Structure 1
Amino acid sequence: MIVTIDVHYKTDYAKTVLLFFENWQSETPANIITHITKDVLPYEPGSFYKRELPCILNALKETTLEAIQLIIVDGHIYVDNDGKYGLGGHLYEALDKKFPIIGVAKTSFQSNKETVVEILRGESKNPLFVSAIGMDKEEAAHHIQNMHGAYRLPHLVKLMDQISKEA
């Protein structure tokens, strides 16, 4: 299974969504898990992962990790060209490098241009910024490019985002 993960912050908690699908052309999720984390750390500029990573790790405890082949996160693997980890890199380490991780970000950093592949999907003029750890970034970009959906965000990534924002 492939799982895409996102965290959305509410007033006094965070909602993490794990959306599972079977292959890159899947149109519907195979499973969806939502997890609420009550004690969320405050946002720390330059260290966003410190807030988001505990939420993701708590949500992953609700599934069988052996079923996961690959993880997609909303964010970057690296925050600079020197390999400083963003959320995806820290998740890779926290999971003992067991799963390739693809980062899909809607915005870029000036300092990580070499670690991402820009892709255009649908008729959008705004690229997605795809990065990867545990696999080749070009292969990761190819997978995201070819996911189901006619818009900038692949259908299942957009669905996960919508579910995370629901009350």
Structure 2
Amino acid sequence: MKKKVLSVVLSMAMAAGLLAGCGSSGTSGGGGESASSGEKVKLTALFCAHALTADINEFKWLQEFEDAAGVDIEWEEIHSDWDQTKPTRFASGDIPDLLFSATNDADYITYNGLFEDLTPYISKETTPNIQAMFDEEPDTLVLAKTPEGKIYGLPKFQGKWPGTNGVLFINN
């Protein structure tokens, strides 16, 4: 049960981060509260950010998300050296419940079994914003799926303008 709650909350958290302001104006609310105690589910999260990014605890929308989802998230911010730290932490199993900008496709193969396949939890009923993103932008589903058809993480979608993101560099 805990694995399912964590996976659903992960999907919700990633969708909220990716799709802030998109989709329905309603909220599901309370999805993370423990049915037996009414207490919030406690989660850990790691956010890899640029050194100039504001402190994650200052993001009002994250607190609003935690309240709406019925979860309490303990945030860890990494501003540098994550690529050197990650192998040791992942190999030891020291991994938070939620990861933002902290993994790449190779991690799902390198650390096989460490990540939950989210595919069974993504549907119009359980994760409407994620499903809407996949429906409206089919490329995001292609990016999200492994060759085996599993989804371990969600892509970041920022629109399609401009049509390319090529950058010209001149070496002098």
Do the structures match in fold with TM over 0.5? no
Identify, as 1 or 2, the structure richer in helix: 2
Which structure has the higher relative contact order (CA within 8 Å, separation 6+)?
A: 2
By percentage of residues, which structure has more strand? 1
